[in-house]
Amino acid sequence: MMLYLSPNIADPDDFYAELINSQRDLDEEQALRMNARLILLLANHIGDRKVLTEAIGCARGGGG
Amino acid sequence: MTSYIYPKFGYRRSQEQAEGIVKRHPIVVVGAGPIGLTAALDCAARGQPVVVLDDNDTVSIGSRAVCYAKRPLEIWDRLGCAAPMVERGVSWNVGKVFFRDQMSYQFDLLPEADHQWPAMINLQQYHLEEMLVARCRANPLIELRWKHRLLSLKQAADHATLAVETPDGIFPMEAQWVIACDGANSDVRKMVGAEFTGQFFQDRFLIADVAMKADFPTERWFWFDPPFHPGQSVLLHRQAGNIWRIDFQLGWDANPEEEKRPERVIPRIRAMLGEDTEFALEWVSIYQFACRRIDNFRQGRVLFAGDAAHQVSPFGARGANTGVQDIDNLAWKLAMVLRGDASEALLDSYHEERAYAADDNILNSTRATDFITPKTKPSRYFRDAVLELARHHGFARPLVNSGRLSTPTPYVTSALNTPDHDAMMVGMRPGTNAADAPIAVDGKPGWFLHCLGDGFTVVAFGKVSDKTEIAVGPFAAKLLLVGRDIEDPTGVLAQRYGASPGTTYLFRPDQYVAARWSGFDEAKITEAVLRASGHDTADRTELAA
Number of H helices, E strands in chain B: 15, 28
In a domain, B145, yes or no: yes
Domain end among B353, B371, B389:
B371
With CB atoms and an 8 Å threshold, state whether A40 touches B396: yes
The dihedral through the CA atoms of B440, B444, B446, B449 has a sign that is: negative
What is the C-alpha separation between B82 and B76, in angstroms, rounded? 5
The per-residue pLDDT for range B318-358, each reduced to its tens digit, is: 889 999 999 999 999 999 999 999 999 999 999 999 999 99
- Hey, are the CB atoms on B384 and A33 less than 8 Å from each other? yes
Confidence band, pLDDT 50/70/90 cuts, at residue B544: low
- What's the CATH number where B70 sits? 3.50.50.60
Give B-chain residues touching A41 at CB under 8 angstroms.
389
Contact A40 B389 (CB under 8 A): yes
**How much is the pLDDT for B234?**
95
What amino acid is encoded at B242 in this protein?
Answer: N
Which of B371, B394, B421 is the endpoint of a domain? B371
Domain of B467 in residue numbering reads as: 438-544
Q: What is the DSSP string of B280-324?
A: EEEEEEEE--EEEEES-SEETTEEE-GGGTEE--STTS-HHHHHH
Q: How confident is the model at residue B2 (pLDDT cuts 50, 70, 90)?
A: low
| Average pLDDT over every residue of B51-76 | 93
Q: Give me the pLDDT at residue B1, please.
A: 45
Determine how β-strand B290-294 pairs with β-strand B310-311.
antiparallel
Contact list in A for residue B390 (CB cut-off 8 A) is: none
Q: Please tell me the predicted confidence (pLDDT) of residue B545.
A: 60
In order of B186, B526, B536, the CA distances from B417 in angstroms are 32, 13, 13
Q: What is the reported pLDDT for B308?
A: 97
Tell me how many domains chain B contains: 2
* Cβ count near B347 (within 10 Å): 21
Residue B270 lies in a domain: no
Whether residue B42 sits in one domain with residue B141 = yes
Average pLDDT over residues B354-380: 94
The pLDDT of B419-444, averaged and rounded, is 92
Percent of chain B at pLDDT above 90? 81
Does the residue B230 lie in any domain? Answer: no
Give pLDDT, residue A34: 98
CA-nearest residue to A42 within chain B is B395
Interface test with chain B among A28, A39, A44, by most B beta carbons within 10 Å: A44
- Residue B202 neighbours by CB distance under 10 Å: 10
Give the residue from B540, B397, B390 showing the smallest Cα distance to B473: B540
What is the average per-residue pLDDT within B158-172? 98
Does residue B462 share a domain with residue B341? Answer: no
> What are the start-end ranges of the H helices in B111-170?
125-137
Instruction: Check pLDDT > 80 for residue A59.
Output: yes
Percent of chain B with pLDDT strictly greater than 70: 98
Q: Looking at the complex, does the CB of residue A58 fall below 8 Å from at least one CB of chain B?
A: no
Q: Which of B104, B384, B395 to mutate to test the interface with A (most CBs of A within 10 A)?
A: B395
pLDDT of residue B214: 75
How many residues belong to chain B? 545
Q: Mean pLDDT, to the nearest integer, of B249-273?
A: 91
Find the CB nearest B386 among A32, A35, A40: A40
Of the partner residues B381, B386, B399, the one whose CB lies closest to the CB of residue A32: B381
Question: What is the average pLDDT value for chain B, to the nearest integer?
Answer: 93
Task: Please check whether residues B69 and B152 belong to one and the same domain.
Answer: yes
Query: Which residues in chain A touch residue B389, judged by CB atoms under 8 angstroms apart?
Result: 37, 40-41
CB contact under 8 A, B389 and A37: yes
> Is B315 inside any structural domain?
yes
Q: Are residues B336 and B448 in the same domain?
A: no
Domain match, B458 and B367 both: no
Within 2-21 of A, beta carbons closer than 8 Å to B belong to none
Q: What angle do CA B224, B230, B231 make, to 5 degrees?
A: 65
Residue B207 belongs to a domain: no
Lowest mean pLDDT among A53-62, B20-29, B417-426, B528-537: B417-426
Of these ranges, B7-11, B302-306, B406-410, the one predicted with the greatest mean pLDDT is B302-306
CATH code: domain of residue B445: 3.40.30.120
Rounded Cα distance, B346 and B368, in Å: 34
Task: Give residue B420's pLDDT.
Answer: 93
Structural domain includes residue B147: yes
Q: Both B442 and B345 in a single domain?
A: no
A47 touches chain B (CB under 8 A): no
Q: How large is the average pLDDT for residues B256-278?
A: 90
Q: Final residue of a domain: which of B371, B386, B405?
A: B371
pLDDT in tens, B87-137: 999 988 889 999 999 999 998 887 889 999 998 899 999 999 999 999 999
Contact A37 B388 (CB under 8 A): yes
Q: Searching chain A, which residue's CA lies closest to the CA of residue B381?
A: A33
Question: pLDDT tens digits, residue range B498-540?
Answer: 999 999 999 999 999 999 999 999 999 999 999 999 987 777 6
Q: Which sequence spans correspond to the domains of chain A?
A: 30-64
Kindly report the nearest CA distance between residue B395 and chain A, in angstroms: 7
Above 90 in pLDDT, residue B453?
A: no
What average pLDDT does range B246-271 have in this prediction? 91
